[in-house]
Structure 1
Amino acid sequence: VKPETRVGLLAQRSVEMMVGILAVLKAGGAYVPLDPEYPAERLGYMIEDSGIALLLVQGGLRAPASVASMAGGPRVLDLDTVDVSGERATDPEVAVHGEQLAYVIYTSGSTGRPKGAAVRHAALSSCMAWMQ
């Protein structure tokens, strides 16, 4: 994962989901949250539309079947079985610019198809500062 690489995160709301989000952001990537409660068709559309390069899937959940048939589709990693023993445990210290993409969130899809809204790091930082 490099700066602005889009990474899908198919996980239940949990500590593991927050760890996944933090890992993607620390690597400089942009996360795309995927709710496992959504129908497979909607998830497949969001995965294809967002252009994710990597799909992180929480154990016990499955990527939509359509992902396997996507030409040039994302690499899928099961978070419970991936071996990270060879990876370093230190902060990657990736420099991130405020104009770089932080995440892509999808709308409810009132027009029939959900639409992705891209959020930059500067906007995310401003939102967090306001919330404090």
Structure 2
Amino acid sequence: MAKNDEWLDAVERQVRAHADAPAFEAADGQKMTYGELWAASDRIAAAVAARTDGREPVVVLGHKSALMCAGFLGCLKSGHAFVPVDVEMPPSRLADIMSQLGDPLVLTTVPVPAPLAAALPPARVLDARTVVASSHPVAAPDRGTWVTGDQTQYLIFTSGSTGRPKGIEVSARNVACFMAWVRTFPVIAEG
């Protein structure tokens, strides 16, 4: 990995070199290869691009899963920062995050519990499971739309000292520097 390699570049290189290698493996046995992850993120990127204008952030709602990772990549490929939100979050906290973001697209990766679904604008919800399961051919957005450099890669909402969620922006360059640093740890191995 190059020193300032960005996340999408690093994943794409793994896809080209090891498409059949596991990219995601959960304790419950759920697996997704790099090739499957990349294909799923292409479908998600095309669907997100079709439903958005500009570069506004997209909420990715789910739980620790391969599809959530594909959602993150799909957002970045379509030129949008992602906002990871766990499906177990209280509805009032989700509503507060949504109000701070304006009218964001919400990419769901799991079935949404009714109390949480009530906090979502139905017209702005996109189900990643349906998108990925579709058999229609898609063209992923051009590489020129990818989130890079000083563009915001993700927003993480923390409660801080006020108890109210506050969005912290993290750029693609910040993530690239972190990736370069973490790879210096002896416990991080190739693959």
TM-score, structure 2 as length reference = 0.58
Residue 154 of structure 2 corresponds to residue 103 of structure 1: yes
Name the SS for the 2:136 alignment partner.
coil
Q: Give the paired residue count.
A: 127
Q: Compute the displacement of 1:64 (Å).
A: 3.5
The 1:65/1:38 distance shift into structure 2, 3 A limit, reads: same
Query: Identity rate of aligned residues, in percent?
Result: 36
Aligned CA-pair RMSD: 2.4
Partner of 1:80: 129
1:94 lines up with 2:147 in the alignment: no
Q: 1:14 to 1:25 in 2, by over 3 A?
A: same
2:80 paired residue among 29, 43, 53 = 29
Q: Which has the higher helix share?
A: 2
Look at both structures and tell me which one has the larger radius of gyration over its CA atoms. 2
* Unaligned ranges ≥5, structure 2: 1-48, 184-191
Which residue number in structure 2 is paired with residue 66 of structure 1?
119
Structure 1 unpaired stretches of 5+: none
TM-score (norm 1): 0.81
